[in-house]
Amino acid sequence: MQKVIIIGCPGGGKSTFARALHETSGLPLFHLDMMYWNPDRTKVPREIFQERLENALGQERWIIDGNYNRTMEMRMQACDTVFFLDYPAEVCLEGVRARKGTTRTDMPWVEGKDEEVEAEFLEFIRSFREESRPHILELLEKYADKKIYVFRSREEANRFLEGFHMIREVEEKDLEECVELIRSSFGTVAKQFGFTEENAPRFTAFATDKQRLVWHMMGEKRPMYIYLDGGKIVGYYSLFLQENQECELSNLCVSPDCRHRGIGEALLKHAFEKARELGCKKVNVGIVEENVVLRKWYEEQGCVHLGTKKFEHFPFTCGFMTKEL
């Protein structure tokens, strides 16, 4: 899911759904109303709207929220995923009334709380199922190769968002949450094997901070990825590119309360695929050798154990594994 359109009757909450999906996925968000309207409630020239839309469609990743029938097929051709909020007219009419007087990121002006909603607009909503919905259904049938979600109630849409998960690249705003996740996850290893800040200050659970992750991102330019579940970061890994078409898998971890759900396997598979894309022939992994459960898990994922080494600054033996790609 990299190119998403969200369509449906006005008042259905397309923009609210789009913002929630944007927050969870990290995909850039574009509102068609912001492209079409000026702050003074006048319309931009058609060619300007078209140019803005084409610029958005030309990007590698996006969410585009809005109907605009004239360009709907163009957007459906370009997208890989469609969300159709197929709600009853009564739900949409109530949505229009509820949003009056609120500042909206999807519209360049604020509708007055006591401002009358135009009768023509209300009639458009009432007749949407008969007048506009058939065209949408025709397009969905024509582009059935797309990933299509149809929600018939707000509850269905909310359940999707609550259960939504995906792997995406880390953004700077994610770093503090990533630090918390890494320290928490590796903290369970420290507790299991008796590592402390005194006897293992350089162990991941104690040495990871935001400054370190900023260096990984900005200094070393590492590919860094997170696993999102219902909008929460519950998994993480990074790749440190090495010589000879090799890379090191670093800090792969899963939140302790989300383990045994296949998240680690999904992250590891993603890491192998990403390493291949970067031209790597081998992924190297370092483990706590005494953690026999983790070693077995990596072996089950196709990794081979190469050997061990003791370091003075660690109260454990470092194990080294590798995966040929």
pLDDT tens profile 121-148: 899 999 999 999 999 999 999 999 999 9
Residues 270/173, Cβ–Cβ less than 8 Å: no
Average pLDDT, the chain: 93
Per-residue pLDDT at 198: 95
DSSP structural state of residue 238: E
The strand pair at 147-151 and 81-85 is best described as parallel
Mean pLDDT of 181-207: 96
Per-residue pLDDT at 102: 79
77 to 141, 144, 154, 175, 291: CA distances (angstroms)? 12, 11, 26, 35, 50
pLDDT value at 322 more than 70: yes
Domain ranges of the chain: 3-163, 167-324
Topology of the domain covering 167-324 = Aminopeptidase (3.40.630)
Per-residue pLDDT at 302: 96
Residues 157/93, Cβ–Cβ less than 8 Å: no
Per-residue pLDDT at 281: 96
pLDDT tens profile 63-96: 999 999 999 999 999 999 999 999 999 999 999 8
Residues 31/22, Cβ–Cβ less than 8 Å: no
**At 111, which amino acid appears?**
E
Question: Among 250, 304, 310, 307, which Cα is nearest to 274's?
Answer: 250
Q: Which class in CATH covers the domain with range 3-163?
A: alpha beta
Mean pLDDT of 231-251: 94
Mean pLDDT of 203-207: 96
Per-residue pLDDT at 113: 67
Can you read off the two tokens belonging to residue 216? 């990984």
Per-residue pLDDT at 114: 66
Question: Among 89, 43, 93, 92, which Cα is nearest to 68's?
Answer: 43
Residues 205/190, Cβ–Cβ less than 8 Å: yes
In whole angstroms, give the CA distance from residue 125 to residue 228: 35
Q: Is pLDDT larger for residue 112 or for residue 279?
A: 279
In whole angstroms, give the CA distance from residue 279 to residue 316: 33
Question: Among 8, 20, 22, which Cα is nearest to 62's?
Answer: 22
| Angle value at C-alpha 224, between 83 and 78, nearest 5 degrees | 30
